[in-house]
Structure 1
Amino acid sequence: MADNRFYDALETRDPAERQAAQWAALQAQISHAAANSAYFGEILAGVTGADIKSAADFAKLPVTRKSDLAARQKAKPPFGGLEAVARAKLKHVFQSPGPIYEPDGYDRDHWRFARAMWAAGLRPGDLVLNCFSYHLTPAGMLVESAAHAIGCPVIPGGVGNTELQLQAVNDLKPDAYGGTPSFLRILLQKGREMGLDVSSLKKALVGGEALPPSLRKEINDLGCFVLQNYGTADLGLVAYESPAMEGMILDEGVWVEIVRPGTGDPVAPGEVGEVVVTTLTNKEYPLIRFATGDLSAVLAGTSPCGRTNTRIKGWMGRADQTTKVKGMFVTPGQIAQVVARHAEIAKARLEVTSTNNTDAMVLKIELRGSGADITAAIAETLQAVCKVRGSVEAVGAGSLPNDGKVIADLRTYQ
C-alpha cells in the first residue's frame, strides 16, 4: 500500500535511479527543444541530447535569462521563438510583468504544483480557497489545476473582495488556502474581527512573496499550518517545503543548477549562486538552462520527511535588481519606463521596505528645476507600469546615492 505521506513513488526513489531517469529526460528535452523551437534550434546549433554525456557537457550550453525574455518576445512575438508546438496545442496564454507571455498546454497539472500541495497536507475532497489572481497572470490557474489533479474542488476567490471571501469561508468551510501569505493573514485576522468562522482553514500553501519566520508564526498561531513553494510562471514548480521545514525539496520535473551569477558556471556544493532550471516535461515551452535571477544554495543531505530529492535553501534574494513586491515582479526596466513618461524626472530610485510584514515601495525622484507638484501623476504611472501601488517622494538634487541602483530592496525579515 502506498505511503499516504507522499504524492507518488518518485519522491522516495533511490537517488541513483532518479539521476538516471532525469538525465534521460534531460537529453530528450534538449533534442525536442533543438528540433522544434526556433530559438533553441538556433542557440543549440544542432546539438542533440545524445551529445550531452555529462554535467560538464551540459554546463557548456548557453544560458537563457528570464530578464531578457520581454525584449526577446517583443522582437519575435509572442514567445520569442521559445515555443515548441503549434498554437492549436496551447490552452492559455498568460501575461506576467515585463510584459512576459507564457503559454500552457492541455496536460494534467501543467505546472506540477500538485506535489507541493500534497506536501502541504491537501488530500482528495479538500475544499480549496484559491486567492491567487485569475486575471492575465497564471497563478490562479496554476493552483486550480494542481488542486483538480489531487481531487480537490476550488473556490475561485482571486484577489481582493475580502468581506465577500470571508463570507464564503464562513458558509462553505474550506479546508485549505492557496495564495500569498499576507492575504491569508488578513483573512484570518479580519474574519475573527467580524465574528465570522474562519477556523476551517487549517492548511495553506503560499507563494508570490516572502514568508519570514514572524509571519509564518502569526499564521500558525491563528490556527493555519502554512508551507511555502518556490516556482515561476515560466517554469512551474521548482521546489517546495514539506512538514519537516528543513529547506525546500526540488520538484521531480526539473533539473536545477546553482551557478555563479552572470555566468553559466556551476558553483561548489553549498555555495550561494543563481538558480538555473531546465524543465523535463514541458513540451510546449521547453526551457533549457533558464536563469531565474534568484539566489539559493544546495543543502547537504536529504529531508527528514523521507523525500530523497536534493534540497535548496529556498529564495535568498535576487542576482539582479529585479525584486518582488506584494507578489509582483518589479524590474529596473519598468522604473525606466516610468522615468521616460515624465521628462521632469532627472533621476529615480525605487526603495522597497517592509513594516509588520507588509511590503511598501516609494519612488524617490530628483526633478529638473522646480514647478508644480507632479508626484501624484508619477504615482499613477508607477502603478500602471508595475501593477502595484507605490508612493512618490521628491528629494533634493544630488541626494540620491551614486551607486548604480535603480531598485534598492531595503527589507529585512525577522
Structure 2
Amino acid sequence: MTQYFDALDTRPPGERERDLFRRLPAVVAAAMRSETYAERFGAIDPSAIATRDALSTLPVLRKSDLPDLQRKRPPFGGLSSQHPGRFARLFTSPGPIYEAQGLSADVWGVARPMHAMGFRAGEIMLNTFSYHLVPAGFIMDAGARELGCAVIPAGPGNTQQQLDLIAAFRPTIYCGTPDFLKIILDAPTSGRDVSSIERALVSGAAFPKNLQDDIARRGIEAFQAYATADIGIIAYETPARDGMIVNENIIVEIVRPGTGDPVAEGEVGEIVVTTLDETYPLIRFALGDLTAAIPGISACGRTNMRIKGWMGRADQTTKVKGMFVRPEQIDSIGKRHPELLKLRLVVTRSHDADAMTLACEADRPEEDLAPRIAETLQMVTKLRGAVEIVPPGSLPNDGKVIADERTLT
C-alpha cells in the first residue's frame, strides 16, 4: 500500500512555498479581470504578489460579506469573470451563498486527504452528506471517485434505509457528520449486519473527545476534515494524529481577527485561504474560524503546514452601551500606539451598566501611556473605557481581541 498520494505530500517546505507563489501572480491577474477584484485591488501589479509578505498587503475578503456581494452582483458577487454556464454544477448554501463546481475531476482536493486516511481504490463509501442543492455530497463524492472508490450517494437521514444499504453493499468507509455516524451505529439493526464500516471521514460538526472515544470503541477509525463549500478540504487528519495537515494547492494564512495582519507562529488567529483556481479565485478569503499553526513536520512524513483545527469563531463584534465595537477598531488603536505588543478589550457589567477595559501588553511603558490610550479608545469607539498596561506575554493566546465576559442572569 502506497503511503503517500504523490510526491507533493513530502516535498521540502521551501520547494512547496516557491511553487505556490510562482503560480499566485497568474491567479491574481485572472482575479483582476472580474469587477469586484478589480475594484478591491486597484492598480496593483499582479507580478509583484509573489511572496507571503506581498500577499499580506492585499485586502481580506470575508466569507460573511459574500451574501451582500452576490446580491449586488449576481450570481458570484463579481468574483469570477467566467459565465455560470461554463461551470460543471451550480449550488447554494445557507446565507444564501452561491457556489460553482469547476470542470476538473477533483476540483475540491479531496482525494489526497482521503488517501491519507487510508481510503483505497475498490472500497465502497457510504456518503451521507447532502447532494440536494448544496455541494457537500458532491465534494466528497468527487474525491472518492478520483481514488477509485464506489460511492453510495445516500445523503442524510432515513436511518433505516441507511442500515439496509450498509447490509447490502458492505461499505468499509463512512463519510458525513460525526453525529449522524453515531445515530447509525446506535440505531436498532433488526438483525442487519452493519459491522462493515472500518474508517470514517467526518466533517461539518464538532467532534468532541467523548464522541471520538465512543466511535473508536466500536472499531472505527474516524478522521476529521476541515472543509468549506467554497474551497473543499482545507486541512485534514492523518493516522499520526498530530494536528491537521493543510491541503496542497492552497495558501493558508492565520491573521489577527478583524485585520489582515498575520500572527506569529503558534498564536491563535483567523484562517485566511487563497486558492489557485483562475476560473473562480478566492484571494485572502477569511473564513471566520480560529486556529493556530503547529510548528514542525508531522510524524506521518507529510511536510505541509499543520494547524490545530477549529478553535472557535473569529467574529467578536459586540455591543457596548448600544454601540457596536469591532476587532478592527481595537487593531486601529494598536496601530496608533506602536509600542503596544498585544491588545484585548474585556467587556463586563459593573453597577448594572456595561463597562470595558482595554488590556495592553507593553515593555517598559511611559507613565502617560495609559491616559493616551484611553483617549484613543474613546475617539475610536465613541465610548469611555479603562486601560490596563500588562507585561508582555500576559494576555491569553486564544485569538480573542474582544472578550465579552458579561453574564445574563
TM range (shorter): 0.7 to 0.9
Counterpart amino acid of residue 14 in structure 2: A
Matched residue, 1:216: 212
Alignment of structure 1 residues 323-342 onto 2, 5 Å: none
Matched residue, 2:11: 13
Cα contact 1:250–1:312 (8 A) shared by 2: yes
Cα contact 1:130–1:156 (8 A) shared by 2: yes
CA drift at 1:84? 3.1
- State which of 224, 234, 239 in structure 2 corresponds to 1:238: 234
Counterpart amino acid of residue 180 in structure 1: T
Counterpart amino acid of residue 218 in structure 2: L
Cα contact 1:256–1:277 (8 A) shared by 2: yes
Alignment of structure 1 residues 192-203 onto 2, 5 Å: 193-203=189-199
CA drift at 1:260? 0.4
Cα contact 2:22–2:50 (8 A) shared by 1: no
Distance in 2 of aligned mates of 1:205 and 1:231: 11
Q: CA RMSD in A?
A: 1.8
Matched residue, 1:166: 163
CA drift at 1:53? 4.1
List per-residue Cα deviations over 1:245-270 (Å, max 9, x = no partner): 11100001110100000000001110
List per-residue Cα deviations over 1:44-85 (Å, max 9, x = no partner): 114343112432221110110001111111111111101232
CA drift at 1:160? 0.5
| 1:302 to 2:324 alignment | no
Alignment of structure 1 residues 55-94 onto 2, 5 Å: 55-94=52-91
Counterpart amino acid of residue 68 in structure 1: D
Distance in 2 of aligned mates of 1:84 and 1:206: 34
Distance in 2 of aligned mates of 1:194 and 1:229: 32
Q: Unmatched 5+ residue regions in structure 2? A: 318-401
Cα contact 2:24–2:50 (8 A) shared by 1: no
| 1:136 to 2:120 alignment | no
CA drift at 1:27? 2.0
Cα contact 2:34–2:80 (8 A) shared by 1: yes
List per-residue Cα deviations over 1:196-245 (Å, max 9, x = no partner): 21111000101001111111111111121100100111121111111111
Cα contact 1:240–1:251 (8 A) shared by 2: yes
| TM-score relative to the length of structure 2 | 0.76
Q: Which stretch shows the higher mean deviation, 61-70 or 50-59?
A: 50-59
Distance in 2 of aligned mates of 1:156 and 1:43: 40
Distance in 1 of aligned mates of 2:133 and 2:212: 28
| 1:319 to 2:314 alignment | yes
Cα contact 1:130–1:177 (8 A) shared by 2: yes
Counterpart amino acid of residue 264 in structure 1: G
Cα contact 2:234–2:246 (8 A) shared by 1: yes
Distance in 1 of aligned mates of 2:75 and 2:252: 26
Structure exhibiting the larger radius of gyration computed from Cα positions: 2
CA drift at 1:321? 6.4
Deviating runs (4+, > 3 A) in structure 1? Answer: none
Residues paired across the two proteins, number? 321
Matched residue, 1:354: none
CA drift at 1:127? 0.5
Distance in 1 of aligned mates of 2:169 and 2:49: 52
List per-residue Cα deviations over 1:272-314 (Å, max 9, x = no partner): 000000002x233100000000000100101000100110010
Distance in 2 of aligned mates of 1:100 and 1:48: 30
| TM-score relative to the length of structure 1 | 0.75
Counterpart amino acid of residue 288 in structure 1: I
| 1:251 to 2:247 alignment | yes
CA drift at 1:159? 0.7
Cα contact 2:231–2:275 (8 A) shared by 1: yes
| 1:290 to 2:290 alignment | no
Q: Which SS does the other structure have where 2:273 is aligned?
A: strand
Distance in 1 of aligned mates of 2:210 and 2:227: 22
Distance in 2 of aligned mates of 1:178 and 1:62: 35
Cα contact 1:178–1:206 (8 A) shared by 2: yes
Cα contact 2:243–2:309 (8 A) shared by 1: yes
Distance in 2 of aligned mates of 1:10 and 1:60: 28
Counterpart amino acid of residue 162 in structure 1: T
Counterpart amino acid of residue 295 in structure 1: L
Counterpart amino acid of residue 23 in structure 2: A
Matched residue, 2:265: 269
Cα contact 2:167–2:193 (8 A) shared by 1: yes
Distance in 2 of aligned mates of 1:48 and 1:115: 33
List per-residue Cα deviations over 1:354-383 (Å, max 9, x = no partner): xxxxxxxxxxxxxxxxxxxxxxxxxxxxxx
Counterpart amino acid of residue 243 in structure 1: P
Counterpart amino acid of residue 205 in structure 2: E
Distance in 1 of aligned mates of 2:37 and 2:232: 19
Matched residue, 2:366: none
Q: Which stretch shows the higher mean deviation, 309-318 or 79-88?
A: 79-88
Distance in 2 of aligned mates of 1:53 and 1:156: 41
The percent identity for this pair of structures is: 50
Q: Which SS does the other structure have where 2:187 is aligned?
A: helix
- State which of 24, 30, 37 in structure 1 corresponds to 2:28: 30
